[in-house]
């Protein structure tokens, strides 16, 4: 059984939000296409929503419009929403319990941000024994700078995804993912 994890696809990451990410509109549309394919192919869908407790952050704050899941991937009434306060979607949440109850052995990750929640969730999923697939063109990164070295989003994605792919995560573009999932009804 495979589950699609839509991680932190929330209003504050889109234009006019409090922490807009480069190319988030295009990434959101790819996530929407993946979500539609998952629904069509009866994959389990889990929406992950990051909520900072009041006073802990400047974006994705509890009770704000910016913390809401973006309309491009709006959850259906039968889809679970799991809220978290940490980058790792499994940490202090019911995600693992939910996936085990469904019999999931494989998770597909899309959403935001590559260098935070995607990375932390992928590593935790691998530690818990899940097969992990990351859709490399359906994840958003933020530009970063360290000690005078500036990395654009493509470089951030390449650095994190190359490391994750060494740890047995499968990294694929959305076109390949959509073809694979629709023709095989998801790997188990």
HSE-up (13 A, CA, CB side) for residue 138: 29
Question: What is the DSSP code (8-state) at residue 172?
Answer: E
CA distance 175 to 146: 33
Residue-wise pLDDT tens digits, 53-78: 877 789 999 989 999 999 999 999 99
CA distance 23 to 110: 14
Residue 176, pLDDT score: 87
pLDDT surpasses 50 at 186? no
* Cα–Cα nearest to 136, from 109, 168, 162, 173: 173
Q: What number is the average pLDDT over the span 23-43?
A: 96
Domains and CATH numbers, the chain: 2-184 (3.40.50.850)
Q: What number is the average pLDDT over the span 156-169?
A: 93
Cis peptide before 113 (omega within 30 of 0): yes
Q: What number is the average pLDDT over the span 6-18?
A: 97
Residue-wise pLDDT tens digits, 98-145: 999 999 999 999 999 999 999 999 999 999 999 999 999 999 999 999
CA distance 155 to 172: 16
CA distance 31 to 69: 12
* Cα–Cα nearest to 112, from 2, 22, 16: 22
Residue 91, pLDDT score: 98
């Amino acid at each position: 059984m495979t589950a699609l994890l839509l991680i932190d696809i929330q209003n504050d990451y889109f234009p006019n939000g409090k922490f807009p990410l480069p190319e988030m509109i295009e990434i959101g549309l790819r996530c929407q296409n993946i979500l539609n394919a998952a629904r069509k192919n009866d994959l389990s869908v889990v929406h992950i929503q990051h909520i900072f407790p009041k006073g802990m952050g400047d974006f994705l704050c509890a009770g704000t419009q910016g913390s809401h899941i973006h309309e491009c991937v709006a959850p259906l009434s039968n889809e679970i929403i799991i809220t978290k306060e940490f980058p790792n979607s499994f940490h202090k949440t019911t995600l693992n319990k939910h996936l085990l109850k469904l019999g999931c052995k494989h998770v597909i990750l899309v959403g935001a941000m590559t260098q935070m929640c995607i990375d932390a969730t992928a590593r935790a999923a691998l530690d818990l024994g899940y097969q992990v697939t990351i859709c490399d063109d359906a994840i958003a990164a933020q530009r970063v700078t360290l000690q005078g070295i500036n990395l654009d989003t493509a470089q951030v994605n390449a650095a994190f995804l190359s490391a994750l792919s060494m740890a047995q995560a499968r990294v694929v573009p959305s076109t390949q993912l959509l073809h694979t999932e629709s023709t095989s009804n998801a790997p188990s």
